[in-house]
A and B are shown apart, each in its own frame.
Chain A
Amino acid sequence: MLREKRAADIAQVLAKYPPERKRSAVMPLLYIAQEEYGYCSDEAIREVAEIIGCDPTEVKSIVGFYTMFYEQPVGRYVIDVCDDLPCALRGADKFVTYCEKRLGIRAGQTTPDGKFTLNTVMCIAACDRAPVAQVNREYRYELTEESFDRMLDELSQS
Chain B
Amino acid sequence: MSGFYGTKNKTMERHVLLRDVDVPNIREYDVYVANDGYAAWKKALTTMKPDEVINVVKDSGLRGRGGAGFPAGVKWSFIPKDIFPKYVVVNGDESEAGTFKDHQIIDGNPHQLIEGVALCAYAVQANTSYIYLRGEFYEPAKTLQRAIDEAYAHGMLGKNVLGSGFDLDIHIHLGAGAYICGEETALLSSLEGQLGQPRLRPPFPAVQGLYAKPTVINNVETLANVPPIVLHGAQWYRQYGTEKSPGTKIFCVSGRVNKPGNYELPLGKYTIRELIEMAGGTMDGRPVKGVLPAGSSAPILPANLLDTKLDYESVQAAGSILGSASFVILDDTVDIVWAARKMVRFFKHESCGKCTPCREGTYWALKLYDKILSGHGTLADVDMIGEVAGQMAGKCFCLLGEFATSPMQSTLKHFRAEYEAFIANHQGGKMNGYTDELIREGVLAGPEGVITRH
| B-contact 0/1 string along A104-147, CB 8 Å cutoff | 00111100000000001111111111100010011100000000
Give every chain B residue within 8 A of A41 (Cβ-Cβ).
none
Q: Are the C-beta atoms of A128 and B211 separated by less than 8 Å?
A: no
Q: Which residue of A lies closest to B9 (CB)?
A: A128
* Contact partners of A100 in chain B: CB under 8 A: 440
- Cβ A108 vs Cβ B453 within 8 A: yes
- Asked if A66 meets B176 with Cβ closer than 8 Å, knowing A86-B328, A125-B94, A125-B103, the reply is yes
The residue on B at minimum CB distance from A83 is: B437
Q: Is there a chain A Cβ closer than 8 Å to B171's Cβ? A: yes
A7 adjacent to chain B (CB < 8 Å): no
Q: Given A27-B173, A65-B352, A127-B98, list of 12 further CB < 8 A pairs?
A: A27-B193, A65-B195, A68-B177, A80-B136, A85-B346, A97-B440, A109-B452, A125-B99, A127-B97, A127-B255, A127-B326, A139-B5
Q: Across the two chains, which residue of chain A brings its CB closest to B256? A: A89
Do A24 and B346 touch across chains, with their CB atoms under 8 A apart?
no
Q: In the complex, are the beta carbons of A28 and B328 less than 8 A apart?
A: no
In the bound complex, do residue B440 and residue A107 qualify as a contact, i.e. CB atoms below 8 Å apart? yes
Q: Is the CB of A65 within 8 A of B196?
A: yes
Is B174 a contact partner of A31 (Cβ separation < 8 A)? yes
Q: When the two chains form their complex, are residues A128 and B446 in contact, meaning their CB atoms are under 8 A apart?
A: no
**When the two chains form their complex, are residues B252 and A127 in contact, meaning their CB atoms are under 8 A apart?**
yes
Task: Say yes or no for B175: interface residue by CB 8 A criterion.
Answer: yes
Asked if B349 CB lies within 8 Å of chain A CBs, one says yes
Contact B176 A23 (CB under 8 A): no
Instruction: Find out whether the CB atom of A66 lies under 8 angstroms from the CB atom of B211.
Output: no
Q: Which of chain B's residues 166-201 have a Cβ closer than 8 Å to chain A? A: 171, 173-179, 190-196
- B134, B193, B346, B437: the one contacting A23 at CB < 8 Å is B193
- Contact at B196–A89, with CB atoms within 8 Å? no
Closest Cβ of chain A to B20, distance in Å, is 15
CB distance from A99 to the nearest CB of B (A): 10
**A-side interface size class:** 35 or more
Q: List 12 A-B contacts (CB under 8 A).
A: A21-B193, A31-B176, A85-B255, A89-B255, A89-B334, A89-B339, A93-B436, A122-B179, A122-B346, A123-B97, A123-B99, A139-B5
Q: Which residue of A lies closest to B347 (CB)?
A: A122
Whether A124 contacts B136 by the Cβ 8 Å rule is yes
Within the complex, the shortest CB–CB distance from B134 to chain A, in Å, comes to 7
Q: Which 10 A-B residue pairs are closest in the complex by CB-CB distance?
A: A23-B193, A67-B177, A66-B176, A128-B260, A127-B254, A137-B138, A68-B177, A123-B97, A68-B176, A86-B254
| B interface residues, Cβ below 8 angstroms from A | 2-3, 5, 7, 94-100, 102-103, 130, 134-139, 171, 173-179, 190-196, 211, 252-256, 260-262, 295-296, 326, 328-330, 334, 339, 342-343, 346, 349-350, 352, 436-437, 439-440, 446, 452-453
In chain B, what residue has the closest Cβ to A87? B254
Choose one: A67, A86, A93, A138; the contact of B97 (CB below 8 Å). A86
Q: B173 and A67: CB pair below 8 A?
A: no
Q: Which of B103, B193, B254, B440 contacts A130 (CB 8 A)?
A: B254
A25 within 8 Å of B (CB atoms): yes
Q: Cβ of B100 and Cβ of A27 under 8 Å apart?
A: no
Judge if A3 is at the interface, Cβ distance under 8 Å.
no
A121 to chain B minimum Cβ distance, whole angstroms, is: 8
Specify which chain A residues have a CB less than 8 angstroms from the CB of B134 in the assembled complex.
125
Report B-chain residues with C-beta under 8 Å of the C-beta of A123.
95-99, 295, 346
Residues of A contacting B352 in the complex (Cβ-Cβ under 8 angstroms): 65
**B255–A25 touching, CB < 8 Å:** no
Judged by a CB distance under 8 angstroms, whether A52 is at the interface is yes
Cα-based distance from A151 to B166 in the complex (angstroms): 49
Q: Which residues on the A side are within 8 Å of B346 (C-beta)? A: 84-85, 122-123
A32 to B432, CA, bound (A): 45
Chain A contacts for B191, CB-based, 8 A: 24
What 1/0 mask marks residues of chain A from 50 to 74 whose CB sits below 8 Å from any chain B CB? 0010000000011001111100000
Determine the chain B residues whose CB is within 8 A of the CB of A28 once the complex forms. 173-174
Chain B residues contacting A30 (CB-CB under 8 Å) are 176
Pick from A23, A67, A84, A126: contact of B103, CB below 8 A: A126
Assembly CA distance A134 to B343 (angstroms): 21
Assess the A138–B2 pair: CB atoms within 8 A: yes
> A33 interface residue, CB < 8 Å from B?
no
Q: Which of B175, B262, B326 contacts A66 (CB 8 A)?
A: B175
Q: Say yes or no: A125 contacts B211, CB within 8 Å.
A: no
In contact, B192 and A21 (Cβ under 8 angstroms): yes
Chain B CB within 8 A of A88 CB? yes
Query: Which chain A residue has the least Cβ–Cβ distance from B349?
Result: A122
